[in-house]
A = this chain, B = another copy of it.
């Protein structure tokens, strides 16, 4: 759910009001926070992401919590200021701004990050809506999409046409909450590597197939996931994912994009892409296209076995268990660029078009 900035301010005001009310009644002020840990997480196919089970803790003001309590309130105030000045602050900048909080200053950035996570979870909004951002790339985009942003000074609409970048691309900002979109594309293709992204740009793939290409650059950042999610939701687009054929591609990249991650379960609502489907490279592709492979490393094997045992998403989907078992039996992994064995243009002219004719066969 996207909330307007006025709604976020209202939530902050309510929290502060509740604390204030208890103080004036001479009661100890309290804050209620959901517990953020894997033990408090479940996977629900509908709506399609990891969710908190709803356990929460109450933080009451005492001698031992007084510093964190003060920091949480100051962090809420900082967010309110940011909304009013229309600025964003990186997590690092927030930490340094808090240098002036006297005894409530943080002794390390990990501390301020934790308080920020608490505030997110407490208000049920994401950090970006509080106008905090991470220092991370947001992915790159090329294809049949017009992104609508605003000029910071004039507030005029800016239309960014993602077909007009030549060999370059549109770099997604770390905060995408206020972007709007216009597109007639048929689907979004999210690609693991920049190398493959540039291959598809060079082969005029988005032109021929009327799609939007997104380079995730490995495990997609929050900004990249949020961008794909908002775009897919608002324009009702399918999302297909194209990674290497290995446990890292399947679990760390695809699964994170689709259902989110365990340790940020209070945020998956915003950052998962439930409509994502896995295009490839699948274990079957290795056989079908006679692709060159590498032996599975011990770390791959561990990752796979661990996921099949503990990951609620994989445990829910038999198809993924079968694919994973097949890869383990074959004992190999495959890179998406291995398709170049059949020529550079093979991926765009043969592999992807054949796959896109049977999207119903994509892994869930």
What residues make up the interface of A, taking CB atoms closer than 8 Å to B?
Answer: 87-90, 92-94, 96-97, 99-100, 133-138, 140, 147, 149-153, 158, 160, 164-175, 179, 193-195, 198-199, 201-202, 204, 207, 217, 292, 335, 337-341, 343-345
Chain B residue nearest in CB terms to A343 = B97
**If A140-B171, A164-B158 touch, does A152 touch B340 (CB 8 Å cutoff)?**
no
Q: Can you list 24 contacts pairing A with B, beta carbon distance less than 8 Å?
A: A88-B198, A89-B344, A90-B198, A90-B199, A92-B335, A92-B337, A96-B292, A96-B337, A96-B339, A97-B343, A140-B171, A149-B166, A151-B166, A152-B167, A152-B201, A152-B202, A153-B207, A158-B164, A158-B165, A160-B168, A169-B170, A169-B171, A170-B170, A173-B198
B344 and A194 within 8 A (CB): no
13 more A-B residue pairs beyond the given contacts A87-B344, A93-B199, A160-B164, with a C-beta to C-beta distance below 8 A? A88-B202, A89-B344, A90-B198, A92-B195, A134-B195, A151-B166, A152-B167, A153-B207, A160-B166, A166-B179, A168-B172, A169-B171, A170-B170
Cα–Cα, bound, A338→B194 (Å): 32
Could you tell me the distance between the alpha carbons of A202 and B136 in the complex, rounded to whole angstroms?
16
- CB pair B174–A198 under 8 Å, yes or no, is yes
B173 engages A168 (CB within 8 Å): yes
Does the CB pair B194–A165 fall under 8 Å? no
Residues of the B chain whose Cβ atoms lie less than 8 Å from the Cβ of A335: 92, 96
Q: Which residues on the B side are within 8 Å of A201 (C-beta)?
A: 152
Q: Are A165 and B137 in contact (CB under 8 A)?
A: no
Q: How far in angstroms is the closest Cβ of chain B from A343?
A: 7
The smallest C-beta distance from A328 to any residue of chain B, in angstroms, reads 23
Cα-based distance from A165 to B160 in the complex (angstroms): 7
> Which residues of chain B have C-beta atoms less than 8 A from A170's C-beta?
165, 168-171
In the bound assembly, the distance between CA atoms of A340 and B90 in angstroms comes to 10
Q: Which chain B positions have C-beta within 8 A of A345?
A: 87
